[in-house]
């Protein structure tokens, strides 16, 4: 075991600045998941939140749809019931990206790059819950969790794969098409209502494939897209370096992502810039709802203040807990939030769009009960995220909620990475 730790540390120290970004992302997502699971275990799990088995894609071999390591991708499906039997909510799992041989090799040894390491069964919470008290508008729908194992937001293409003996399968686009084909064959093709959603890198995938999803469903179906913490800003870090832009450039070039991006964007910009939602969201025809924290800890830790921009670690405590930030650091964070709001100004004017921009130090919020819909959920205008999304999806009322700046909202769930 000690030797494994030593090898891991050697690998970690060899990472370039951009490669460290993705490794840190995977760690942050793991910590977030464990923190929420621990918090969730304080309350009883509803009896109707069953263990949902993993379903490998039956058409994977035929479609040549493989995870990074060549294993079979798949999903978890819980069938709808009652009035929800012809309604579908799909949720695309998140988990960062890989931008190099080293980071893709690392992902191959995790559930983010191989189904060999995925759980055989999972429980559904938040927007995938079957408990009406936790998920009032979508509890009885067909619910699908699409597992993420390609490292490119379901946008990679096989013609970019290495032919020099290094075995990587960049099949994100192929996986997306194979998953939707299989779901269409088991009932999705008859959907009256459908909501495509995703968290983080899955949220970015949702934006990229939103109009594609609309196209494959019946013309009279009510189809919309929900993006959770998937609006990644193309901002420079605190040292003035374009860290995230360089990282995305590597991802797009490595995995051949350009073919999956909006053509009206790639015709005017370099393809990697079209991996940023701000460059193509205005061309999405399908209605979109954005759930985005104003102080997204992943973006703060990896876009605004990556390790390379803070050699003296003056931001270390602040990045772990927003309550540890000093006044100057809070000014920088407020500017980052303002940059988000300014970038979303055009989207805010879209009459079909919805948004829930709260002032919480968090990342994804729709797949966990505590932040989706519970007595402890973050609220804006006395609405939980679930209530705001429901108002928007069913056209009950306009749903454009923007919070006041930190620390004004006492309902926020702030992640605290200093806790053991």
Token pair for 54: 């993993």
Q: Residue 13's pLDDT band (boundaries 50, 70, 90)?
A: very low
Catalytic positions, written as ranges:
200, 296, 363
User: What confidence tens digit (pLDDT) does each residue in 253-274 have?
Assistant: 999 999 999 999 999 999 999 9
- Report residue 404: phi and psi, to 5°: -75, 165
Q: Count Cβ atoms below 10 Å from residue 196 Cβ, excluding itself.
A: 28
* pLDDT value, residue 277: 98
Residue corresponding to tokens 């970015």: 204
**Least confident range of 20-24, 144-148, 192-196, 235-239:** 20-24
Q: Residue 132's pLDDT band (boundaries 50, 70, 90)?
A: very high
- Give the dihedral sign, CA 268/207/211/58: positive
User: What confidence tens digit (pLDDT) does each residue in 142-151 have?
Assistant: 999 999 999 9
User: What confidence tens digit (pLDDT) does each residue in 33-53 have?
Assistant: 433 433 333 333 344 448 999
Sketch the domain layout of the chain as residue ranges: 2-402
User: What confidence tens digit (pLDDT) does each residue in 321-358 have?
Assistant: 999 999 999 999 999 999 999 999 999 999 999 999 99
pLDDT of 4 strictly over 60: no
In the chain, pLDDT over 90 holds for what percent of residues? 85
Token pair for 267: 């015709």
Q: Residue 31's pLDDT band (boundaries 50, 70, 90)?
A: very low
pLDDT of 295 strictly over 90: yes
- Give the dihedral sign, CA 193/138/389/277: negative
Distances in Å between the Cα of 166 and the Cα atoms of 170, 210, 385 are 12, 32, 44
Cα angle vertex 80, ends 175, 128, to 5°? Answer: 65
Average model confidence (pLDDT) for the chain?
Answer: 90
Contact indicator for 222, 193 with CB cutoff of 8 Å = yes
The partner residues of 54 in beta bridges, in order of sequence, read 76
pLDDT of 164 strictly over 90: no
Residue 310: which of 362, 250, 243 has the closest Cα? Answer: 243
Q: Residue 93's pLDDT band (boundaries 50, 70, 90)?
A: very high
Looking only at the bridges linking them, the beta strands covering 74-78 and 142-146 are: antiparallel
Query: What is the spatial distance between Cα 209 and Cα 192, in angstroms, rounded to a whole number?
Result: 19
| 2-402 topology per CATH | Rossmann fold (3.40.50)
* pLDDT value, residue 160: 84
Query: What is the spatial distance between Cα 187 and Cα 183, in angstroms, rounded to a whole number?
Result: 6
Instruction: Please give the average per-residue pLDDT across 287-314, as a whole number.
Output: 98
Query: What is the spatial distance between Cα 64 and Cα 156, in angstroms, rounded to a whole number?
Result: 13
Instruction: Say if residue 65 is preceded by a cis peptide, omega within 30 of 0.
Output: no
* pLDDT value, residue 251: 98
Instruction: Please give the average per-residue pLDDT across 19-41, as a whole number.
Output: 41
Contact indicator for 254, 158 with CB cutoff of 8 Å = no
* pLDDT value, residue 3: 35
Token pair for 170: 């960049």
**Least confident range of 8-12, 126-130, 160-164, 372-376:** 8-12
Distances in Å between the Cα of 262 and the Cα atoms of 199, 258, 265, 280 are 20, 8, 5, 7
């Amino acid at each position: 075991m000690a030797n494994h730790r030593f090898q891991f540390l050697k690998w970690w120290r060899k990472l370039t600045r951009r490669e460290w970004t993705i490794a840190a992302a995977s760690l942050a997502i793991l910590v977030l998941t464990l923190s929420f699971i621990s918090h969730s275990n304080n309350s009883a799990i509803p009896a109707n939140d069953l263990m949902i088995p993993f379903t490998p894609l039956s058409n994977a071999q035929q479609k040549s749809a493989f995870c990074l390591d060549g294993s079979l991708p798949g999903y978890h499906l819980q069938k709808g019931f009652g009035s929800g039997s012809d309604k579908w909510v799909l949720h695309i799992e998140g988990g960062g990206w890989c931008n190099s041989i080293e980071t893709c090799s690392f992902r191959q040894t995790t559930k983010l790059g191989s189904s060999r390491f995925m759980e055989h069964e999972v429980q559904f919470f938040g927007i995938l819950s079957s408990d009406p008290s936790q998920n009032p508008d979508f509890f009885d729908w067909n619910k699908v969790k699409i597992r993420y194992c390609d490292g490119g937001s379901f946008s990679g293409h096989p013609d970019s794969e290495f032919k020099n003996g290094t075995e990587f399968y960049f099949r994100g686009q192929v996986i997306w098409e194979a998953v939707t084909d299989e779901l269409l064959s088991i009932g999705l093709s008859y959907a009256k209502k459908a909501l495509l959603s995703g968290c983080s890198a899955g949220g970015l995938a949702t934006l990229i494939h939103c109009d594609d999803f609309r196209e494959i469903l019946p013309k009279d179906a009510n189809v919309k897209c929900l993006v959770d913490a998937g609006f990644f800003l193309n901002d420079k870090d605190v040292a003035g370096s374009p860290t995230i832009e360089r990282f995305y450039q590597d991802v797009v070039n490595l995995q051949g992502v350009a073919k999956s991006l909006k053509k009206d964007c790639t015709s005017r910009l370099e393809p990697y810039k079209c991996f940023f939602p701000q460059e193509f969201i205005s061309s999405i025809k399908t209605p979109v709802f954005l759930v985005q924290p104003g102080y997204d800890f992943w973006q703060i830790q990896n876009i605004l203040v990556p390790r390379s921009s803070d050699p003296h670690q003056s931001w270390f405590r602040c990045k772990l807990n927003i309550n540890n930030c000093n006044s100057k650091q809070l000014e920088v964070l407020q500017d980052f939030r303002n940059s988000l709001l300014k970038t979303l100004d055009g989207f805010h004017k879209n009459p079909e769009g919805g948004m829930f921009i709260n002032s919480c130090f968090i990342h994804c919020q729709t797949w966990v009960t505590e932040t989706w819909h519970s007595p402890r959920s973050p609220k804006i205008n006395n609405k939980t995220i679930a209530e705001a999304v429901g108002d928007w999806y069913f056209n009950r009322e306009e749903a454009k909620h923007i919070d006041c700046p930190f620390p004004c909202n006492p309902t926020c769930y702030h992640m605290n990475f200093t806790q053991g």
